[in-house]
Homo-oligomer: A and B are copies of this chain.
Amino acid sequence: MRWARYLVGDKETFGLVKGDRLIDVAGDPFDGYERTSTSRPLAATKLLAPVMPRTFYAAGLNYADHVREAAEKLGRSPDLPPAADIGYRAINSITGHEDPIIVPADATELLQYEGEIVVVIGKQAKHLTAETVWDCILGYTIGNDVSERTWQRGDRTMWRGKNTDTFAPMGPWIETDLDLEAAMTTVRVNGQEKITFKTTSMIFGIAEFLIRMSQYCTLYPRDVVWMGTEGKTDNMVHGDVCEIEITGIGTLRNRVQWEGK
């Protein structure tokens, strides 16, 4: 099942993606829904980010090659994280599929993509175990954890380096029936492949993160957990189109729009 979110008039509506159509539902995938008899063409519908989270979690460094690349970029020694310690991002940074990544005029050229799988929590959960952990997941979507490396390195926190408005494109929809083990993540800029990696080749897997988080923190419907990216990331410039594809989910596409250019 694929859940999309979009405007009908000025009302946010959830719908099911069926082929090239969107079927409007009454309600939502979190609190219950009924299909309606209304459908609309997918291609003609501007999608919103498929969920606005309650808490926006991010794993950060969670793929071995990326840890090494990131350390080099930041002038630090590469320390693999010793435990699945989750981090946070801010809701203002979220934008949707096909929305522009708007880069402030004072950003440096170190403006980079990070292609990530995103876990969408569907049910309230605490003290998850290996047996129960998968039950709280509604499905998966795709995130581009856009990062300005100069700010990320120089500021005390990652507030503007990763949380500037539109720096967290998410979409295009939530896939509830993903074959996670088969999934591959590919990042393309202007159609040129930058990296392909096995989506689950994480240092700490989805289950490990959620189990650990939920020993201390209640997970709520609409929470999202961005799982990190792999490998080296490159600069993007004004006009670049960045695509993150995860097989079995789809492709998240966003154009870079640099203010003042």
Contact = CB atoms under 8 A, between A and B. Distances in A.
Contacts of A82: 156
A134 interface: no
Interface string A52-70: 0011010010000000000
Looking at chain A's contact residues, is the secondary structure mostly helix, strand, loop, or mixed? loop
A163 B214 CA distance: 11
B87 A157 contact: yes
A8 B160 CA distance: 40
A81 B126 CA distance: 35
B87 A159 contact: yes
Contacts of A90: 55, 57, 88, 217
A201 interface: no
Interface in A67-109: 81-83, 85-93, 104
A86 B159 contact: yes
A66 to B, nearest CB: 15
A216 B157 contact: no
A157 B216 CA distance: 14
A135 interface: no
B156 A85 contact: yes
A82 B154 CA distance: 10
A163 B86 CA distance: 10
A165 interface: yes
13 contacts: A55-B91, A55-B92, A60-B156, A83-B156, A85-B156, A87-B157, A88-B159, A92-B220, A159-B213, A160-B216, A163-B216, A164-B216, A165-B218
Given A88-B90, A88-B157, 14 more contacts: A55-B92, A57-B90, A60-B157, A85-B157, A85-B159, A87-B156, A87-B159, A88-B89, A92-B218, A104-B215, A159-B217, A160-B216, A160-B217, A165-B217
Interface of A: 54-55, 57, 60, 81-83, 85-93, 104, 126, 155-157, 159-160, 163-165, 213, 215-220
